Amino acid sequence: MWRKIRLAYALKFRTKDVDSILYRIRNGKAYAMDFFFGDKERAKTILAIVLDSIVEDIVKNVKGKKIYIPDYINYSLPATEFPGRRDCGKI
């Protein structure tokens, strides 16, 4: 599941019109680089497939249950297995 979520984050980034990327290192440092990805439509197609796969994995645990999600709360999926670490990217 974690790998699928990380893949979804990477694919979503590649669907955006950006010209640089920020890499964060575990020691807290970060560095930026120029970024170009030319096949945005293919990334969107693959992202849809990956998100469908994540939904298939999650639905097993929530199907038939009522889940209340208030409008004022923004839920997101974690991109790391390290508990307590805050992530800056969200799906």
Q: Which sign, positive or negative, has the C-alpha torsion 43, 41, 89, 66?
A: negative
What's the DSSP call for residue 23? E
What is the C-alpha separation between 49 and 41, in angstroms, rounded?
13
pTM: 0.65
Tell whether 68 is covered by a domain.
Answer: no
Q: Is the pLDDT of residue 91 over 50?
A: no
pLDDT tens for 23-72 read: 888 788 888 889 888 889 999 999 999 999 999 999 988 899 988 888 89
pLDDT of residue 80: 58
Domain count, the chain: 1
Tell whether 51 is covered by a domain.
Answer: yes
Tell whether 10 is covered by a domain.
Answer: yes
pLDDT of residue 90: 43
Which residue range forms the structural domain that includes residue 44?
A: 2-62
Tell whether 37 is covered by a domain.
Answer: yes
Q: Is the pLDDT of residue 6 over 60?
A: yes
Tell whether 24 is covered by a domain.
Answer: yes
Tell whether 73 is covered by a domain.
Answer: no
Q: DSSP secondary structure string, 30-83? A: EEEEE-----HHHHHHHHHHHHHHHHHHHHHHHTT------TT------S-S-T
What is the C-alpha separation between 87 and 89, in angstroms, rounded?
6
Q: Which of 5-14, 46-55, 68-77, 81-90 has the lowest mean pLDDT?
A: 81-90
Tell whether 70 is covered by a domain.
Answer: no
Tell whether 81 is covered by a domain.
Answer: no
